[in-house]
């Protein structure tokens, strides 16, 4: 009886790991927090929240965290804008990370106008922008991706909050025009998506994981874009 109980527990754990360490996973918690902190977000401690959300709303939330790009297309601003309407859709298994970034900002603006508490939408946006620079969130979820995904999520997890200065060294200015915010944001999302996608292909070709140096450069792209977004919505000067 005891052995049967242990086997049942082991089976349950295996299923949990299968569903939760899938392509819906992203950079691990402290890495997301570090991106938000480096970008200057005052509520940086909320940035891991969207992964917590998946515990209770997995099939609604998970597809917001990646784009498998099964046809290996060059990502364009049009690609990004076409994904917005699929935000929170459980039917879009290929994912719609790029559209989720803009859609979460729309939800923020809508909530502000309604006079309700809007900060959690900023946290979702910050998290999605973090996921944007994870190379394996921008490539097909094939055998290589499955094998290497979690390892690459945690490349700098154990040190990044102690090394915010290293991340900040990779931050650069991004200009988002207030009167063309979504247009400019879609363009920048596509640019970073293609950088991440290219690195993902390189990792696959060389059959290896990211180096710490590569991870900090990637995270710098996310922090740079998040900083620009925060500036446009009045969260930082």
Q: Give the CATH number for residue 67.
A: 1.10.575
Residue 79 lies in a domain: yes
Residue 181 lies in a domain: yes
**The tokens 């509520």 sit on which residue?**
43
Whole-angstrom CA distances from 27 to 21, 24, 117, 209 are: 11, 10, 27, 14
- Distance CA(140)–CA(151), nearest Å, equals 17
Residue 184 lies in a domain: yes
Answer whether 46's CB lies under 8 Å from 119's CB.
yes
pLDDT string in tens for the chain (237-residue length): 544 454 444 444 333 433 444 445 679 999 999 999 999 999 999 999 999 999 999 889 999 999 999 999 999 999 999 999 999 999 999 999 999 999 999 999 999 999 999 999 999 999 999 999 999 999 999 999 999 999 999 999 999 999 999 999 999 999 999 999 999 999 999 999 999 999 999 999 999 999 999 999 999 999 999 999 999 999 997
- Distance CA(226)–CA(126), nearest Å, equals 6
Answer whether 69's CB lies under 8 Å from 75's CB.
yes
**The tokens 């290589």 sit on which residue?**
144
Whole domain around residue 29: which residue ranges? 2-232
The tally of domains found in the chain comes to 1
Q: Which helix (H) or strand (E) holds 162?
A: none
* Count of Cβ atoms closer than 10 Å to residue 19 Cβ: 13
Residue 202 lies in a domain: yes
- Distance CA(54)–CA(36), nearest Å, equals 20
pLDDT at 4: 46
pLDDT at 26: 79
What is the value of pTM for the model shown? 0.90
Residue 237 lies in a domain: no
Residue 212 lies in a domain: yes
- Distance CA(35)–CA(211), nearest Å, equals 17
Residue 46 lies in a domain: yes
pLDDT at 17: 39
């Amino acid at each position: 009886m005891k052995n049967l109980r242990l086997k049942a527990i082991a089976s349950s754990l295996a299923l949990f790991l299968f569903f939760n360490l899938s392509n819906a996973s992203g950079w691990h918690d402290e890495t997301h927090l570090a991106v938000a902190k480096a970008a200057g977000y005052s509520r940086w401690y909320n940035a891991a929240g969207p992964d917590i959300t998946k515990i209770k709303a997995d099939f609604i939330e998970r597809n917001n965290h990646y784009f498998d790009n099964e046809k290996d297309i060059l990502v364009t601003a049009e690609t990004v804008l076409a994904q917005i309407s699929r935000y929170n859709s459980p039917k879009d298994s290929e994912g719609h990370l790029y559209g989720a970034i803009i859609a979460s900002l729309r939800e923020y603006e809508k909530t502000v106008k309604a006079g309700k508490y809007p900060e959690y939408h900023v946290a979702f946006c910050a998290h999605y922008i973090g996921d944007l620079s994870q190379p394996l969130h921008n490539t097909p979820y094939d055998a290589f991706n499955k094998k290497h995904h979690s390892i690459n999520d945690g490349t700098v997890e154990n040190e990044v909050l102690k090394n915010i200065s290293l991340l900040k060294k990779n931050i650069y200015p991004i200009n988002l025009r207030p009167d063309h915010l979504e247009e400019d944001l879609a363009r920048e999302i596509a640019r970073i998506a293609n950088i991440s996608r290219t690195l993902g292909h390189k990792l696959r070709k060389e059959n290896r994981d990211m180096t710490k140096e590569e991870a900090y450069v990637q995270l710098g792209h996310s922090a740079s874009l998040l900083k620009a977004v925060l500036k446009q919505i009045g969260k930082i000067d």
